[in-house]
Amino acid sequence: MRLILASGSPRRSELLAAAGMGFEVIPSPAEEIHDASLGMAGLCEENARLKASAVFSLYSDAVVIGADTLVFLDGEPLGKPKDMAEAENMLRRLSGKTNQVCTGVCILGPGEKVTLLHVVTEVFFRELDDETLFAYLAKTQPLDKAGAYGIQDCGEMIIERIEGAYDNVMGLPVEQVLQALDLRRADIPVRSEFF
């Protein structure tokens, strides 16, 4: 059984590979929705479902993983900034506050097997002065990250601590994904060099 990651995110690929899974990457063409009325879990799970479904429609003999990660501040979803000015504004809003990172995951497989799940991690931001904020923006690529930050990219500059899963903040809650895949484990290739 083929395992497909319906995401072009290098961070998700790294996390899944580190877990020892054999998989292909086929980025999803699906357009994300931005309907905050769905709530944190509903919005992330629906975007993950859209992404997985678009790829599964082309590879219905495979198991397909779709994922969507968003940063929520006071219940408002923060997606990827469109430019550096918006990235700066997002980081100023996050400064000194606690935000939630929610990753929704959808796993689709043959026989109409569907698994939807989400994981939330609390992220506590430091108070950011201008020097720290601009230094962080200069050292990282904030435009491809929800909320304009990545915990794995100089995260110690801006993040005080987290409560929950680190890999979830990176974009894929690996433990929960592996548990969901356990139901199909016999059919999914495992990278032999890890065993």
User: Are 136 and 32 a contacting pair, CB within 8 Å?
Assistant: no
Report residue 182: phi and psi, to 5°.
-55, -30
Catalytic residue from among 61, 68, 83, 182: 68
Q: Evaluate the CA torsion angle 173, 176, 180, 186 in order and state its sign.
A: positive
144 assigned to active site = no
With a CB cutoff of 8 Å and minimum separation 6, the contacts of 185 are none
Residue 90 to residue 80: CA distance in whole angstroms: 10
Active site residues: 68
